Amino acid sequence: MTDRKLVRPFHTLLIANRGEIARRIARSARRLGYRSVAVYSDADADGLHVREADLAVRIGGPAAGDSYLNIAAILEAARSAGADAVHPGYGFLAENAEFAAAVEQAGLVFVGPPEAAIRMMGNKARAKVAMAEADVPCIPGYQDGDQSVEAYAQAARRIGYPVMIKAAAGGGGRGMRQVRNPEELPPALASAASEAAAAFGSNELILEKAIERARHIEIQVLADSHGNVIHLGERDCSIQRRHQKIIEEAPSPAVDDTLRARMGQAALRSARAIGYQGVGTMEFLLAPDGNFYFMEMNTRLQVEHAVTEAITGLDLVEWQLRVAAGEPLDLEQDALQFRGHAIEVRLTAEDVPAGFLPQTGTLRRWRPPQETRALRIDHGLAEGGAISPYYDSMIAKLIAHGRTREEARRKLRQALEQCVVLGVPTNQWFLAACLEDPVFAAGSGVHTGFVEERFGARLKARPAASPLTVAWAAFAAYACAMDAPGPDISPPRPAARPWRANLMQENTAWDICVTPDGQGWRIEANLAESTIDTGPHRFELRNARWQSPDRSILEAEFDGARESVCLAAGEAGLSLFHRGRAWEFLQVPAHKPRNAAMADGTVTAPFTGRILLVAVQADDQVGAGDPLLIMEAMKMEHTLYAPVAGRIVELAAQAGGQASKDRLLLRIEPPASREAAS
């Protein structure tokens, strides 16, 4: 297959993307002497990729359809900025054949493959036919035009269960279902078709034999416009959740030199068969018996390209730009050398116990570890920036390189422990747990079902903070309330009365007492309302001081051990990063009952937050201790209870509304009050 593609030198590159990939492309473009143009939606007006570009052009509202998927707006931005080339990055329009065609019709260089190659490989059904013709092994399956349930059922019987349903027009786990028996097939087809239509604008599906306990192996290819094609080795992307990659590495622990050569030759045949140009990735499933099967081709730069760069020393974006400008490859396959091992993790804002549910919010603290020759951090956010509901929730990619796989794993685990993220739930602890897992550490037993097999029900568990972490949170809240004039925090003289508070972490409540003792403080933490008598947890604290002018880093000596925490304090509580993990604490002043209710039946908001549920109505009779309403702050729920029995005579709370601290929520009139009034 051949396709004429516009290839010529250019001087100004428009990057049709956002966030970390836009920054990463601009970095290579700048090094090569190209002028870079950023585009942005209203949601990204203050983004780092906007600030760092030579020129930035607004292209529309925050929704992707109004901005990063708006072909007309992007082309108009290129025209107004004087750009003569467009790089699509990954995601959005990167694998959209219509976009590639529109760019070239506008007389601009498209930094990517020919339109025909994108179109061919963008449909899994057509791609499998093309690969089979190129003598590339494919998974047994069904990809015909008859999309009826009967046709799929007949194909599934022929292939043999279990089978995989996949969206023909897309990937990323959307429109994908595993079916283990005939009864599951019809509802799975309907669900997959609906999801595929919503994600890709097409409900076309294909069916494949499910290769169980397989590895996900991809081969990076690089082709120029002069007929030269090489491969850059493999990446192992087997650690996935919901069919989406979260940890990638190169080379694969399961691929030796012989298998690498076989898979590499299959990838080269694939690229030549479709007249490919630029950077692309052939994705395969590697079965336990050593056979491999073509899955799909990504006709763009991959999210995980950095691990290939780490072991080859090549800049893949640089080569995309050089190929697009018409330069021939000056790399020989036999001359390529792979040095060491690299592993990447994708740090995302998501609630793991809730099923990896994407999260939004403000990064109250974002302190990635220092980059070194062995550690690379790709991100697109500044502290105070927002994880938007309109786009992917990835915060950053952390990539570690070592002489051996174990060294890379160790360096990446340390980097994760030093990476401070406060303000949104993340998968940080889960990534660390994966890296520490003995099966992952060994490398030999990893497959695409690793997460479910190794974690199972543990994924739904919400971890509890240790008493030491709670004590740190208590002292951090106390230190913020002290408002010391300088960096040193000294106990009051003479010793003041103890400071008391209630802290909640998830659904666990702690009663806290911080007592100055002249030289420092004594901290006592007790589980509140616990059916298990664990006794008090006591700590001695000395030599406390703020390490940073913005009072985000607090240092102290706990029981003789000196360490520091990063924190972000708010009206409702605080976020704390302690020993490699982020925690959220809700603070309820201890001078009131924990439900912030007065003895006379007045119930006020113990903190500023959102009212999730109001369980009562005006004139209702309630008993002492009955639940009244639920408030949310710091992403934690807090139930308020009736302090006395009686009738609700005033109700000022409404579900869905906001309540500021100490605002009246409701008032209960006890029976004695009514009798006295009469």
Q: Is residue 125 part of a domain?
A: no
- Asked if residue 97 and residue 42 are part of one domain, the reply reads yes
Q: Is residue 428 part of a domain?
A: yes
Query: What's 88's DSSP letter?
Result: -
> Over 60: is that where the pLDDT of 593 sits?
no
Question: Could you give the C-alpha distances from 37 to 22, 46, 49, 315, in angstroms and in order?
Answer: 10, 15, 10, 20
- Asked if residue 484 and residue 406 are part of one domain, the reply reads no
Tell me the C-alpha distance between 632 and 626, whole Å: 18
**In 3D, which of 580, 445, 573 has the Cα closest to residue 510?**
573
Phi, psi of 437 (to 5 degrees): -60, 135
Tell me the C-alpha distance between 67 and 47, whole Å: 15
Q: Average pLDDT for residues 655-671, to the nearest whole number?
A: 88
> Over 60: is that where the pLDDT of 677 sits?
no
Under the banding of pLDDT at 50, 70 and 90, the label for residue 181 is very high
CB count, 10 Å around CB of 558?
18
Judged by DSSP in three states, 333 sits in helix
Question: End of a domain among 558, 588, 618?
Answer: 588
- Asked if residue 409 and residue 549 are part of one domain, the reply reads no
Q: Is residue 675 part of a domain?
A: no
- Asked if residue 437 and residue 330 are part of one domain, the reply reads yes
Beta partners for 286? 215, 292
- What is the domain-level CATH number for residue 62? 3.40.50.20
Q: Is residue 678 part of a domain?
A: no
Domain hosting 81: range is 12-111
- Asked if residue 268 and residue 390 are part of one domain, the reply reads yes
Q: Is residue 126 part of a domain?
A: no
- Asked if residue 638 and residue 580 are part of one domain, the reply reads no
- Asked if residue 228 and residue 198 are part of one domain, the reply reads no
Structure confidence by residue, pLDDT tens digits, 364-375: 999 999 999 999
Q: Average pLDDT for residues 355-378, to the nearest whole number?
A: 95
Reported as type and span, the H/E element at residue 471 is: helix 467-482
What integer pLDDT is reported at residue 606 of this predicted model? 80
> Over 80: is that where the pLDDT of 590 sits?
no
* Helices (H), ranges, 53-161: 71-81, 97-105, 115-121, 124-133, 149-159
Structure confidence by residue, pLDDT tens digits, 302-354: 999 999 999 999 999 999 999 999 999 999 999 999 999 999 999 999 999 98
**In 3D, which of 593, 578, 630, 590 has the Cα closest to residue 609?**
630
> Over 80: is that where the pLDDT of 607 sits?
no
The residue written with tokens 């639940």 in the block is 627
Query: What's 183's DSSP letter?
Result: G
- What is the domain-level CATH number for residue 543? 3.30.700.30
> Over 60: is that where the pLDDT of 157 sits?
yes
Structure confidence by residue, pLDDT tens digits, 54-68: 999 999 999 999 999
Q: Average pLDDT for residues 188-203, to the nearest whole number?
A: 87
- Asked if residue 266 and residue 151 are part of one domain, the reply reads no
- Asked if residue 281 and residue 248 are part of one domain, the reply reads yes
Paired tokens of 329: 């490859």
Q: Is residue 265 part of a domain?
A: yes
Q: Average pLDDT for residues 527-551, to the nearest whole number?
A: 84
What is the average pLDDT value for the chain, to the nearest integer?
A: 92
Question: End of a domain among 416, 431, 454?
Answer: 454
**In 3D, which of 677, 667, 625, 664 has the Cα closest to residue 647?**
667
- What is the domain-level CATH number for residue 185? 3.30.1490.20
Q: 274 with 229: CB under 8 angstroms?
A: no
80-94, 390-404, 480-494: range with lowest mean pLDDT: 480-494
- Asked if residue 164 and residue 99 are part of one domain, the reply reads no
Paired tokens of 198: 């919503």
- Asked if residue 545 and residue 399 are part of one domain, the reply reads no
Backbone region of residue 145 per phi and psi (left: phi > 0; alpha: psi in -120 to 50; beta: other values): alpha
87-101, 131-145, 376-390: range with lowest mean pLDDT: 131-145
Beta partners for 630? 613, 639
- What is the domain-level CATH number for residue 392? 3.30.470.20
The pTM assigned to this predicted structure is 0.87
Question: End of a domain among 209, 230, 249?
Answer: 209
- Pairing type for strands 361-362 and 386-387 reads antiparallel
Query: What's 322's DSSP letter?
Result: H
The share of the chain scoring above pLDDT 90, in percent, equals 77
Q: Is residue 503 part of a domain?
A: yes
Under the banding of pLDDT at 50, 70 and 90, the label for residue 3 is low
- Asked if residue 254 and residue 193 are part of one domain, the reply reads no
What integer pLDDT is reported at residue 106 of this predicted model? 97
Tell me the C-alpha distance between 67 and 48, whole Å: 17
Tell me the C-alpha distance between 143 and 565, whole Å: 55
> Over 70: is that where the pLDDT of 398 sits?
yes
Q: Is residue 154 part of a domain?
A: yes
Paired tokens of 228: 């030269």
Counting the structural domains of the chain, the total is 5
> Over 80: is that where the pLDDT of 534 sits?
no
